[in-house]
Structure 1
């Protein structure tokens, strides 16, 4: 078994792993980072999305040995503190952009990558990013609203009720 070094959420880990071990398994089973969810195991659903050298990747399609020496960020690293959420997480909460929460970590990681870009993403880029994630609970409206809010898209007015009234804390 090869020994690899994973730099995960700012910490270095040396692991002996089988050649065919998936990165999801290394993160979840070896490092106890269970926020990276395993959904379809075919790279379709996006639940396993992590950042590898600041780029979103499907951890279920990545072998642990491929991540040797690279920087990995998981959903466990996103919130600045236990008392404070990252703006992407806060928008998901404020806009009710989650239900069961299974897909949420992968969505948050993809949106985090957009949030950290030098140039702010446009609505089309946000929608394209979200199209790579499957959510079985929602109709995507609240997830999309949260993404646009967190990433500061022009023209965002915030979630409104059926009468067109903005909810408290919505908008800019």
Structure 2
């Protein structure tokens, strides 16, 4: 009995267009999260009669904005990819994050993947074919077309079953 395991192939890796769509959609979702956070803080300031919160929001420095953006990014990608292997962008483009074996990556791998997104100029690492960015290669993850992955894995494992069926002819 063979113990071969499926591995991801280049032909199911998401295209540059889908990866760009993921980036844009996820950016919009993260900006909406920032807006919601600001509204929540404003409501808290209103109900607690705390003008310091409003002053902070009005005078927030670019450095604080940057760090808040990083925290929102870390929360967004980690929560969605650890729990579901997808983000909102990936749901829309029907892509999914997987490990080398086409399985859901563990939480530490997703954390590494997310931290790697902070690398300066990381966005430029996507030029090329197949479309694999630094946060993919450093974490040994892939963004693949979900339907293609499922079809390839089903075919792979169906071939593994050939010859493993009991033969009733020798009774």
Asked if Structure 1 and Structure 2 have the same fold, meaning a TM-score greater than 0.5 normalized by the shorter chain, the answer is no
**Structure number with bigger Rg:** 2
Q: TM-score, normalised by structure 2?
A: 0.30
Q: Which has the higher contact order (CA 8 A, sep 6+)?
A: 2
| Bigger helix fraction | 2
TM-score (norm 1): 0.30
